[in-house]
């Protein structure tokens, strides 16, 4: 939680910060917050409407499938799902306990590799040959 959110959600902290403000400034802040609140409510309502429309469409498709005598199992083999390509490991290290760790080089550096790099080794030293 940010300091600003903590300030806004804690009445005593907010009161302390508002001591230096005039009542007109506080009324302006309240008006702005009310406007933001209304915008947020409208966004949430729109998101709910979109989700409800999506659920209604899913129900309609389920009903059509039931009427046609089609199950999800009938469709599974027909859908062209993208095949995720498994990324082969490119680097390998063995830790102090003798355990072998492999890494593709993508994403966050695993702890075993980071400790190896901290000892002065480089990625090139860990390449699988």
Asked if 102 and 87 count as a contact pair (C-beta separation under 8 A), the reply is: no
- Residue range 24-50: mean pLDDT, rounded: 96
Same domain, 58 and 118: no
Closest CA to 91 of 73, 114, 64: 114
Share of the chain above pLDDT 90, in %: 60
- Taking 80 as the threshold, does the pLDDT of residue 89 lie above it? yes
Are residue 70 and residue 122 in the same domain, yes or no?
A: no
On whether both 70 and 107 belong to a single domain, the answer is: no
CA terminus-to-terminus distance, the chain: 47
Pair 67, 7 in one domain: yes
Instruction: Tell me the C-alpha distance between 91 and 105, whole Å.
Output: 7
83: pLDDT strictly greater than 80:
no
Please check whether residues 9 and 68 belong to one and the same domain.
Answer: yes
How many separate domains does the chain show?
A: 2
**pLDDT value at 95 more than 90:** no
Q: What percent of the chain has pLDDT over 70?
A: 98
Is residue 50 included in any domain, yes or no? yes
Determine the pLDDT at residue 57. Answer: 97
Domain range enclosing 121: 91-126
Determine the Cα–Cα distance for residues 29 and 8; give it in Å rounded to an integer: 11
Q: Which pLDDT tens digit goes with each residue over 2-34?
A: 888 888 889 998 999 999 999 999 999 999 999
Indicate whether 51 and 14 sit together in one domain: yes
30/64 same-domain check: yes
Are both 67 and 108 inside the same structural domain? no
């Amino acid at each position: 939680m940010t300091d600003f959110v903590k300030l806004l959600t804690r009445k005593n902290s907010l009161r302390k910060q508002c001591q230096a403000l005039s009542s007109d400034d506080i009324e302006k802040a309240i008006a702005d917050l009310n406007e933001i609140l209304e915008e947020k409510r409208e966004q949430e309502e729109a998101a709910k409407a979109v989700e409800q429309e999506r659920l209604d469409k899913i129900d309609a498709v389920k009903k059509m499938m039931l009427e046609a005598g089609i199950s999800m199992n009938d469709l599974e083999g027909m859908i062209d799902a993208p095949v995720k390509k498994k990324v082969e490991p490119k680097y390998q290290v063995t830790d102090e306990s003798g355990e072998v760790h492999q890494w593709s080089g993508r994403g966050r550096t695993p702890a075993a590799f980071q400790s190896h790099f901290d000892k002065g080794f480089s990625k090139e030293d860990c390449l699988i040959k």
